[in-house]
């Protein structure tokens, strides 16, 4: 199975900050990488698919980049509703696997 490793596991930031989360795959996954966020008590929500394509309705302050094994999610100007846990997920090979999550907390 492909292992997905996110860093950091958690971070503290302020409204308006630029935030970057990284995700590394244990083998190449081309651009088959998706990003989700999850607010407490809610289901995960797709933000970005295919490494860099913004899901419909997702604000443009979210962006994704990378290919192969290394990927990045950037939030350009953190908003109050962005405090959540973020997950990467590969869809290159079965079983589809997730990173362990990055919790973005209020500083």
Partner 1 sequence: ELQLVESGGGLVQPGESLRLSCAGSGFTLSRHWMSWVRQTPGKGLEWVANTNQDESQKYYVDSVKGRFTISRDNARNSLYLQMNSLKAEDTAVYYCAKHGSYSFDHWGQGTLVTVSS
Contacts with partner 1 by CB under 8 A lie at 32, 34, 36, 42-46, 49-50, 53, 55, 87, 89, 91, 94-101
CA distances 92 to 1, 32, 65, 67, Å, are 11, 5, 16, 12
CB 98 within 8 A of CB 87: yes
Work out how close the CB of 88 gets to partner 1 at its nearest, in angstroms, rounded to a whole number: 10
**Which of 105, 58, 70, 71 has its CA nearest to residue 85?**
105
Work out how close the CB of 94 gets to partner 1 at its nearest, in angstroms, rounded to a whole number: 6
Which C-beta is closer to partner 1: that of 35 or that of 82? 35
Work out how close the CB of 14 gets to partner 1 at its nearest, in angstroms, rounded to a whole number: 26
């Amino acid at each position: 199975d492909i292992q997905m490793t996110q860093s950091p596991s958690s971070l503290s930031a302020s409204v308006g900050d630029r935030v970057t989360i990284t995700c590394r795959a244990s083998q190449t996954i081309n651009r088959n990488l998706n990003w989700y966020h999850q607010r407490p008590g809610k289901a995960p929500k797709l933000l970005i698919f295919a490494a860099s394509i913004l899901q419909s309705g997702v604000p443009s302050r979210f962006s994704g980049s990378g290919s192969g094994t290394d990927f990045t999610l950037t939030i350009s100007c953190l908003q109050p509703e962005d405090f959540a846990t973020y997950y990467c997920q590969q869809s290159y090979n079965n079983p589809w696997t997730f990173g362990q999550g990055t919790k973005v907390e209020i500083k």
